[in-house]
A and B are shown apart, each in its own frame.
Chain A
Amino acid sequence: MRLIRIWPESAHFDFMRLRRFSFPLSATLSLLTVVLLFTVGLNFGIDFRGGTLMELQAKSGRAEVAKLRQTAEGFGFGEVEVQEFGTAGGVSLRFPIQAGGEAAQSAVVQKARDTFGNEYEFRRVETVGPRVSGELVQSGTIGVILSVIAVLFYLWFRFERELAIGAIVGTLHDIVLTVGFFVITRHEFNMTSIAAILTIVGYSLNETVVVFDRTRELMRRYKTMPVEELLNLSINTTMSRTVMTATTTALSLLALVIFGGRAIEGFAQVMLYGVVVCTYSAIFISSPMLIYIGLRSTETAKAPEGKVAPAE
């Protein structure tokens, strides 16, 4: 039986050399994300913005989007976002938060049910008032910050300080680029997105830790090996595993994107992107960082050729 090998057995690829491309690239992308975040901003869902979301299903199997939009606009609840999805008459309506405080939100649902109830089935109705959305923003933000801090402590406890810093830089990089994905694709950013980001934090570290575990082991074995060589060796020896895991994870996420249904699709797409970014950053961001941080205080790493400002 011939078995598949994705990554050649005894590769000696010089990954570290590519940092002259990867660092500027990531720095540019991160900067671009920050700029876009403040200019274009995220497409916040009702979890964080408040408002009302409805998913309707036309009983006749065909949704009359234009008519729906016109009628909904006529309610006087502000600007309505109407989107058609699927081919079987699925429509989503998003109403902005109403000025009259919490109680005013209910009127929106009542009105829509009374108006569209005959021709459409209401498959999902979600209303989030201003107070709850504020709390969700808070807990979402706290969660992401807390996870980074908690993980930093764990790494500090398990690894050398330089390795911990390298891993955290990579993770922050992945968070920023994930946010960038949301900004550019206009994917709705809600509580599920926070779950996706935290999962990506987990996966990102998973990738980095596997490489760094090997780095640590090799450091003990080859006491005099220069940092660059050490890192190249770590990545090359763990590369076959990295490719395997990225592939299996991507395969299962692909199944989710294609078959998981509309509600999961967004989450799965973000995660799929996350797997690619995390794999890239573990190799091309976290590891080369160690060259700049100075993994070995006993040994002065040779200054890299070309002036490359470290990202972040």
Chain B
Amino acid sequence: MQTLVVYDISNDDIRLKISDTCKRFGLTRIQRSTFLGYLTSMRRKELITVLRRILGDADGNIQVFVICKADLALREVLGKPFEEYAKDELIV
């Protein structure tokens, strides 16, 4: 299922770790503190466990949403997209 991760964290080190983890799980950055991508429910649980461990008792808030395909199709994007979605073929 498409998973949306949104976070608000003031500590720079923790925030960096959170974004690295999201990237490692194959999510795409769509805004500065927002990641979106496909995860199986197992991978999602794993991600939540890792995020919980990184956040610990620190100040901040992380929210993980599950969005179905139909709902995601209703998404409207205004302005310039933050980062382009990775293409199908990656050639270097």
- Tell me, yes or no, whether A binds B: no
